[in-house]
């Protein structure tokens, strides 16, 4: 009996310790379920890679902290709220739901039937990322490519590049000039390009375009090209200055209209860097519309 009692006490103690940390098994269980329902071996590998990146670390750390034994209820609730907000702030489905109302009105404008006399491309499509500071397309570079394609298709007469550098340290850099240089590199003659380097935001761009349009009464159809999620604000500013432009959308980000064409994977449940960016972009547009 004396020998059994210490063994029983040790077993009970170990069981108690194991039971205390039992909630931590939720974390590997969640990871296993994510991998099991990822959809394919390739997507499972991508899921593992995402979990090994900083955003994945933070997501797993938050989940671990959420189920950590011995925490006070208030602390656990706070961690839970932060983890859920973090998860939603980088979720692709949330990004799609926020972007879709901004982009949906312009789905039909992807195909331009009638020729546009002058197409204004709002600044923000170019960037300088190389060591030699050469102009290149940026995160919204589809604006520039879309305009160049329409020109080469014979659907645009004149391209108008706008904008100045606001956020970078080199204030002398002109977005309009960079855009013009990229277009010329793509085979568009310099004579078909006009530059408006002074405007620093959408309102100023539309004011400058309205002033330019007064000098060109031959322009019967003026188009505005921007990222689809930004077009609503751009067109509103254009109408304030007496313009009635054709919407030319680009840079769609809300995904395919037919969601059934996209195979679901648990990878979509993980927060992604691109989704953080797209949610930021969408909220920026909603905030801009309110202010």
* pLDDT classification of 30: cutoffs 50, 70, 90: confident
In this structure, the answer to whether residues 114 and 208 fall within a common structural domain is: yes
In this structure, the answer to whether residues 178 and 42 fall within a common structural domain is: no
- 226: CATH: 3.40.50.620
Task: Report the length, in residues, of the chain.
Answer: 291
With CA atoms as reference, report the closest residue to 159 among 127, 128, 196: 196
Top-confidence residue, 241 or 8: 241
Question: pLDDT of 161-204, one tens digit each?
Answer: 998 776 555 556 788 899 999 999 999 999 999 999 888 888 99
pLDDT of residue 267: 83
pLDDT of residue 2: 45
- With a pLDDT cut of 90, the percent of the chain lying above it is 57
* pLDDT classification of 12: cutoffs 50, 70, 90: very low
Residue 199 lies in a domain: yes
In this structure, the answer to whether residues 40 and 144 fall within a common structural domain is: no
Q: Which of 9-23, 164-178, 180-194, 247-261: highest mean pLDDT? A: 180-194
pLDDT of residue 41: 86
| Torsion, CA 87, CA 88, CA 90, CA 92, rounded to 10 | 120
Does residue 20 register a pLDDT over 90?
A: no
Residue 275 lies in a domain: no
Domain total of the chain = 2
Residue 68 lies in a domain: yes
Q: Which two tokens stand for residue 285?
A: 């547009």
pLDDT of residue 14: 46
Question: Whole domain around residue 59: which residue ranges?
Answer: 4-89
Q: How far apart are CA 175 and CA 144, in angstroms?
A: 11
In this structure, the answer to whether residues 60 and 127 fall within a common structural domain is: no
Please tell me the pTM assigned to this model. Answer: 0.82
In this structure, the answer to whether residues 126 and 245 fall within a common structural domain is: yes
- The structure tokens 């080469």 sit at 152
């Amino acid at each position: 009996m004396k020998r059994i009692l210490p063994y029983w006490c040790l077993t009970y103690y170990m069981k108690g310790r194991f039971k205390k940390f039992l909630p931590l098994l939720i974390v590997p269980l969640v990871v296993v379920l994510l991998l099991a329902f990822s959809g394919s071996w390739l997507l499972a590998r991508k899921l593992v890679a995402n979990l090994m990146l900083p955003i994945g670390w933070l997501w797993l750390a938050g989940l671990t902290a959420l189920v950590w034994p011995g925490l006070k209820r208030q602390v656990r609730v706070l961690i839970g709220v932060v983890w859920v907000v973090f998860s939603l702030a980088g979720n692709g489905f949330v990004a799609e739901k926020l972007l879709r109302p901004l982009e949906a009105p312009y789905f039909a404008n992807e195909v331009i039937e009638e020729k546009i006399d002058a197409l204004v491309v709002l600044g923000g499509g170019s960037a300088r990322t190389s060591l030699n500071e050469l102009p290149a397309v940026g995160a919204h570079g589809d604006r520039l490519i879309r305009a160049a394609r329409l020109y080469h298709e014979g659907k645009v007469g004149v391209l108008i590049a706008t904008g100045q550098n606001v956020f970078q340290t080199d204030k002398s850099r002109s977005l309009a000039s960079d855009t013009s240089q990229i277009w010329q590199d793509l085979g568009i003659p310099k004579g078909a390009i006009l530059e408006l380097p002074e405007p620093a935001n959408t309102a100023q761009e539309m004011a400058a375009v309205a002033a330019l349009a007064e000098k060109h009464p031959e322009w019967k159809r003026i188009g505005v090209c921007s990222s689809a999620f930004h077009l609503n604000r751009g067109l509103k500013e254009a109408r304030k200055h007496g313009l009635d432009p054709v919407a030319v959308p680009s840079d769609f980000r809300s995904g395919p209209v037919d969601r059934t064409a996209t195979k679901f994977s648990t990878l979509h449940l993980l927060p992604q860097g691109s989704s953080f960016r797209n949610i930021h972009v969408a909220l920026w547009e909603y905030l801009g519309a309110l202010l």
